[in-house]
Chains A and B, each alone.
Chain A
Amino acid sequence: MMGQMIVNGVVTAALIAPPAVAFSMLFGILRFPNFAIGGYITVGVFTGYAANVLFGLPLWAASLAAMLAGAAVVWASDRIIFRPMRTSSPVTLLVVSIALTFVLEHTVRLVFGADVRGFDLPLERPLVFGGMHITRPQLYLMGASLLVVIVTHFLLTRTRIGKAMRAMADNSQLAEVRGIRSVLVRVMVTLYCGALLGLSGVSAGLDLVIEPLLGWGLTIPIIAAAILGGIGSVYGAMLGAVLVGLAEEFATLILPSSYKIGVGFAMITILLLLRPYGLLGQPEIKK
């Protein structure tokens, strides 16, 4: 029982860690909480679905297609909407990003309808390890998540562009003064985060069911994880994902499981009450 809950919690953590990382990285560069992640995830999962089910591609190729679509849509939304509006207040951008989520999700719904779907996978029993059940798709998604964590760590600490991403998120004016072109970094971050969100869509489709509101349903736990870890902190987002995943699972001991989504909220509310700027955040200086 306990072991199964930990397994489920870890699966949830593996599902929300990559998009939480993407959300945090986007925040570092865009400087506002981009709620459109839900819309990006939905675009990703339906691209994966189309590639896998409609065109009969294997899951790995469908994942790749989802990553490309995610990268394209995040880049395009930044290019068309957020970059021209970069001098607007974070709240204005927040509203725009929520509107964008609905536009993306309903565009998908317009094309695919609201029916519940699934990937084309052979039906099989869950694997059993010492009494704990886990399905093969869940193993895939955990593998993908682990890969994302490793690749992101490598990108941010070993590559020049990754270090520039951290530098830009840390102090964008100084980065410009040192010759780093902000547009270049911005484009790279949106492409990378878009790919992560597209992949997250496929992972979500493996673990849950595929429908247009899939992304919106995940938005809350993802943002909760990112805030718990200190918004903008990539490693914090990974830690936050584990906390949210386990907390959602263990909360079912005292709450009906339908309240799961509220758990993330309760956690961030309590955290923000204790530390109004997040676990690792700093008070913002008003101009």
Chain B
Amino acid sequence: MLAYFVAMATYAGFFMILAQGLNLQWGMTGMVNFGVAGFYALGAYSGAILSTRIGIAPELAIALAGVAAGVAGLVVSLLTMRLREDYFAIVTLGFGEIVRLFALNEDWLTEGPRGLRIPARPFDFGLSNAVYSLVYLGVVALVVLVIYAICERIRSGPYGRTLRAIREDDVVAGVLGKNVLRFRVQAFVLGSVFMGVAGALFAHYIQNISPDTFMPMIAIFIWMSVIVGGYGNNKGLLLGAGIVIFILEGSRFLGDFTSIVTSQQLSSIRIILIGIILMAVLRFRPRGLIPEPKFMSEFEKTS
């Protein structure tokens, strides 16, 4: 049972990192990234390939995976920064699908649908499995906290205010003399780095990844985390990610229940539940359960 809690908390950690990355991009600057799964997959595969095929130390591979996702974020954002937000959403979604297709088809590199095995264990000092899983959770938690600190600093500083000004109205922010494009690219790249790190941490944790793991559904889970938590709010989205993981994984506690429905039906029920909660939150509490601290007031009257 404890092992199960530890696993759940670790998963929640991956989602929290992803959600923080998305919050930086969308919650704070309004860039609608639907390609979360793509950046996550890119981080997972590049980290895994670096540590298994090239033999780099897994800790370094995880960091480099962040860099790889950041570079992809740079390219994607530079290409699409001028787009209207709904088109931006579609193109980033496309990026996610293309990464998945690449992983599926280029099996000389990724083992395709068979899945890529990752024997390398980072942060391993010859520990027993039970202790190792606790250590891994600790590492993930540390990363979550570091990223949280970075995001909080960004949010409360002048940089964060500019980012939110861009989100509310990029014309106004442009007039204010801020270099909108540069800020948006920076926020997007940093968010992508976080997602890449989350992917590589995930890959080395689960030790076996396949393209199926990175369906666009992931994007919805992460969006749900940010939205339910109250977008723009770093604390809220940690809670949001926890809720999503609880719905996705916590239903396993209903062990006996699975004799009535098959596991496949159960997974459908979970997704239906997530979808309905997401729609209900957006309809009835569009600012999330923990709304972002008031910043809007000076912009509210413009519309």
Contacts and interface: CB of A to CB of B under 8 A. Distances in A.
B279 interface: yes
Given A109-B268, A258-B104, A265-B97, A90 B86 contact: yes
Q: Could you tell me the dominant secondary structure of chain A's interface residues? A: helix
Interface residues of A, number: 45
Contact of A85 (B171, B276, B282): B282
A110 B86 contact: no
A272 B91 CA distance: 9
A209 interface: no
A81 B279 contact: yes
A90 B286 CA distance: 13
B158 to A, nearest CB: 24
Interface in A67-105: 81, 84-85, 88, 90-92, 94-96, 98-100, 102-103
What 3 pairs between A and B have smallest CB-CB spacing?
Answer: A265-B94, A103-B275, A106-B268
B101 interface: yes
A32 interface: yes
Q: How large is the interface on B (under 10, 10 to 19, 20 to 34, 35 or more residues)?
A: 35 or more
Interface string B184-219: 000000000000000000000000000000001101
B286 A259 contact: no
B275 A269 contact: no
A220 B275 contact: no
Interface string B265-285: 100110110111011001100
Contacts of B45: none
Contact of A84 (B85, B283, B302): B283
A99 B79 contact: no
Contacts of B217: 102
B79 A269 contact: yes
A191 B264 CA distance: 33
A174 interface: no
A269 B271 contact: no
Contacts of A100: 275, 279
B276 A88 contact: no
B152 interface: no
Contact of A258 (B84, B94, B105, B274): B105
With most chain B CB atoms within 10 A of its CB, the pick from A32, A90, A107, A262 is: A262
Contacts of A286: 169, 171
A96 B278 contact: yes
B90 A98 contact: no
A216 B100 CA distance: 15
B257 interface: no
A68 to B, nearest CB: 23
A81 B283 contact: yes
B268 A99 contact: no
Nearest to A107: B272
Contact of B90 (A110, A259, A268): A268
Interface string A268-287: 11001100111000001011
B303 interface: yes
B275 A227 contact: no
B77 to A, nearest CB: 13
Given A261-B101, A262-B101, A88 B286 contact: yes
A229 interface: no
A58 interface: no
A243 interface: no
A18 interface: no
24 contacts: A92-B282, A92-B286, A95-B220, A99-B224, A102-B220, A102-B275, A103-B271, A107-B272, A109-B268, A110-B268, A110-B272, A114-B264, A216-B216, A220-B93, A223-B90, A256-B105, A258-B101, A258-B104, A264-B94, A268-B90, A268-B91, A269-B79, A272-B83, A284-B84
